[in-house]
C-alpha cells in the first residue's frame, strides 16, 4: 500500500471515528423536531411514476400519493425528437427496466417538507416536486442518459445523484437544483452514502449489469468497479477502494467486486455491503482496510441457478441496520425473502417470505425494517426484535427505494388541479 493511500486511509478512519462522538442534530436542522411537519416514508413506484407516502411507524398506512412525472408528455417529446436519447430510453426500458420505463428511482424531501426531490432514470434527470401543488419546482438533467441512486447530506441541504452512463456523481442544492459540485467514479455509479458528519461521500460503482456475461470467469468484462470516497466540501477524491483485491485476499476470487447496497455501523467503523450474484453480505473494517467477515445466507431452492436470469446481476439487494447497530436487515431479492441478522453472531432469523424485495429501510421509530416487495406491489415491515413480519401495505407498481422524509402536518396529497 502506498504512503498516499495509507495517509488518506488514516485520515478517513480518524474522521469516521470522530463522527461517532458527534452531537445529534439541533432543532434547527432536524425537521422531525418541528410541530408543523410530519415524519413519513416515501415509496418510489418505479414503473408507474408515482410515490406513495405512508406512515413511518405503526400500521404504515398510506397517507397520499404523488405523480412524479407530471411532465411526461414534454419529456417524451424531447426523447422522441432525439435519436440518441430515444435509443438510450429504449435500452433502459428493455434492459434494467425489465420491459418497463424507470420513472422513479430515489427520493428525498426538502428540510422544510414542502417538496420531494426525485431521480428519474428513464428521463435522465432529477426534479423537485411541490408537495402542495404537484408541480415541478426545478429540473436538473444529469450528464449522460440515466440517473440512479441518490443520497442527502446530513443537514438536508444537498443531494448527490449518480449519473449511470457518464460515470459521474452530481451534487445539487436541494432547494434550487443548482449543481454545487461533481466528481468522477468507476463504471456505472450506483449507491451514494454521506458520512454522518457530512465530511465524505462514498460512491459504489457496479459496472455492467445488463450483459449475459455472468459466469465468474467473465467477471473482468463487467468494467471498473470501485468505491470512490471524496471530500464532501471540495469534491476531490480522497481514496479509492477496490474490493477485488480485498476479496482475493480472503480466497473469494470467484465473487463479484460490484458493491451494491451498503450500510455503515453506527460508529462508521464497519461497512456492510452486498455484491452482485451473492446471497449474503460482507463486513469491511474501515481502519484496517480489509474484509473481516462473510455472511452467506440461505438459497431459495426455487431460485434458478442460471445467473443470467437474476435481475441486473442482483441476488440480494437491500440492507439496513437497527439504530443500535445490533441487527442487520437483508432483502434477499432473487430468493424471495427478507431476514434480520444478528450483527454480533451473524445468525439470521426467520426467512420472511417476500416477492422480489428490492430495498430495506429503518422505520421512523427504529423498531422495524421496511422492505419494498417489488414483485407484489407492497411494502412489508419486519420487527427487528423478533425477525417476524408485522404488516404489509399495498403501494404502486414495482416499489423500489423507500426513504424517510417529511411533509406538512396535515398533508394528504397535492391539491386537485
pLDDT in tens, 360-407: 999 999 999 999 999 999 999 999 999 999 999 999 999 999 999 999
Q: What's 95's DSSP letter?
A: T
Following CA atoms 103, 108, 111, 113 in sequence, which dihedral angle do they give, to the nearest 10 degrees?
60
Per-residue pLDDT, 6:
44
Segment 38-61 shows an average pLDDT of 97
Query: Given this model, what pLDDT does residue 21 score?
Result: 39
Of 7-11, 37-41, 333-337, the range with the lowest mean pLDDT is 7-11
What's the mean pLDDT when you consider all of the chain?
A: 92
Cell of 280: 449474503
Query: Sign (positive/negative) of CA torsion 23, 25, 26, 29?
Result: positive
pLDDT of residue 89: 94
The residue that leads in pLDDT, 15 or 289, is 289
Measured distance CA(124)–CA(103) in Å, rounded: 10
Predicted pLDDT at 13: 54
**C-alpha cell recorded at residue 234:** 471540495
Q: How confident is the model at residue 67 (pLDDT cuts 50, 70, 90)?
A: very high
Burial class (CB in 10 A: 0-12, 13-18, 19+), 326: middle
DSSP characters over 244-312: HHHHHHTT-TTS---EEEEEE-TTSSEEEEEETT-SEEEEEETTTTEEEEEEEPPPPTTS-S-GGGSGG
Mean pLDDT of 63-74: 97
pLDDT of residue 345: 98
| CA atoms of 334 and 260, how far apart (whole Å) | 14
pLDDT digits over 330-348, tens only? 999 999 999 999 999 999 9
Whether 26 shows a pLDDT value over 90: the answer reads no
Radius of gyration of the chain (CA): 20
Residue-wise pLDDT for 161-184, tens only, equals: 999 999 999 999 999 999 999 999
Residue 196 pLDDT > 80:
yes
| pLDDT tier at 98, thresholds 50, 70, 90 | confident
- In the chain, what percentage of residues exceed pLDDT 90? 86
How far is Cα 256 from Cα 250, in angstroms, rounded to an integer? 13
- % of residues, the chain, pLDDT over 70: 92
Q: Quick check: 84 pLDDT over 70?
A: yes
Q: What is the pLDDT of residue 96?
A: 84
Q: What is the dihedral of CA 85, 98, 60, 326, to 10 degrees?
A: -100
pTM above 0.75, yes or no: yes
Grid cell of 232 as nine digits: 464532501
Question: CATH for 36-408?
Answer: 2.130.10.10
Give yes or no for residue 8 having a pLDDT over 80: no
Model confidence at 416, in pLDDT bands (50, 70, 90)?
Answer: low
C-alpha cell recorded at residue 269:
467503523
Q: All 3 cell numbers of residue 130?
A: 411541490
- More confident call, 20 vs 121: 121
The CA distance from 351 to 388, in Å, is: 8
Amino acid at each position: 500500500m502506498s504512503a498516499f493511500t495509507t495517509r488518506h486511509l488514516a485520515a478517513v478512519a480518524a474522521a469516521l471515528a470522530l463522527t461517532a462522538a458527534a452531537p445529534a442534530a439541533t432543532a434547527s436542522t432536524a425537521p422531525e423536531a418541528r410541530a408543523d411537519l410530519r415524519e413519513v416514508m416515501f415509496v418510489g413506484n418505479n414503473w408507474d411514476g408515482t410515490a406513495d407516502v405512508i406512515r413511518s411507524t405503526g400500521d404504515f398506512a398510506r397517507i397520499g400519493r404523488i405523480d412524479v412525472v407530471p411532465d411526461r408528455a414534454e419529456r417524451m417529446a424531447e426523447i422522441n425528437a432525439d435519436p440518441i436519447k430515444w435509443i438510450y430510453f429504449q435500452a433502459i426500458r428493455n434492459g434494467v427496466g425489465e420491459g418497463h420505463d424507470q420513472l422513479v428511482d430515489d427520493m428525498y424531501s426538502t428540510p422544510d417538507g414542502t417538496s420531494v426531490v426525485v431521480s428519474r432514470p428513464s428521463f435522465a434527470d432529477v426534479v423537485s416536486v411541490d408537495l402542495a401543488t404537484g408541480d415541478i419546482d426545478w429540473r436538473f438533467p444529469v450528464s449522460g442518459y440515466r440517473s440512479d441512486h441518490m443520497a442527502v447530506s446530513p443537514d438536508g441541504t444537498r443531494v448527490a445523484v449518480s449519473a449511470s452512463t457518464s460515470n459521474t456523481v452530481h451534487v445539487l442544492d436541494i432547494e434550487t437544483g443548482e449543481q454545487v459540485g461533481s466528481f468522477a467514479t468507476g463504471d456505472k455509479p450506483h449507491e451514494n452514502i454521506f458520512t454522518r458528519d457530512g465530511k465524505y461521500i462514498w460512491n459504489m460503482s457496479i459496472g455492467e449489469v445488463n450483459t449475459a456475461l455472468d459466469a465468474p470467469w467473465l467477471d473482468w468484462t463487467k468494467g471498473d468497479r470501485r468505491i470512490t470516497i471524496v471530500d464532501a466540501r471540495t469534491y476531490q477524491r480522497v481514496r479509492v477502494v477496490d474490493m477485488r483485491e480485498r476479496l482475493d485476499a480472503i480466497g473469494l476470487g470467484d465473487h463479484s467486486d460490484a458493491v451494491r447496497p451498503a450500510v455503515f455501523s453506527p460508529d462508521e467503523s464497519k461497512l456492510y455491503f452486498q455484491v452482485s450474484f451473492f446471497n449474503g453480505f460482507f463486513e469491511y473494517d474501515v481502519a484496517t482496510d480489509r474484509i473481516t467477515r462473510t455472511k452467506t445466507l440461505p438459497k431459495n431452492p426455487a431460485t434458478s441457478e442460471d445467473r443470467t436470469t437474476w435481475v441486473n446481476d442482483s441476488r440480494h439487494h437491500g440492507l439496513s441496520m437497527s439504530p443500535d447497530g445490533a441487527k442487520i436487515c437483508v432483502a434477499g431479492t432473487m430468493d424471495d425473502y427478507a431476514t434480520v441478522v444478528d450483527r454480533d453472531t451473524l445468525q439470521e432469523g426467520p426467512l420472511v417470505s417476500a416477492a422480489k424485495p428490492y430495498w430495506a429501510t429503518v422505520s421512523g421509530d427504529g423498531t422495524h425494517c421496511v422492505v419494498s416487495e417489488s414483485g407484489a406491489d407492497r411494502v412489508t415491515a419486519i420487527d427487528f426484535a423478533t425477525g417476524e413480519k408485522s404488516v404489509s401495505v399495498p403501494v404502486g407498481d414495482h416499489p423500489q427505494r423507500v426513504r424517510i422524509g417529511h411533509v406538512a402536518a396535515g398533508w394528504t396529497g397535492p391539491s386537485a388541479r
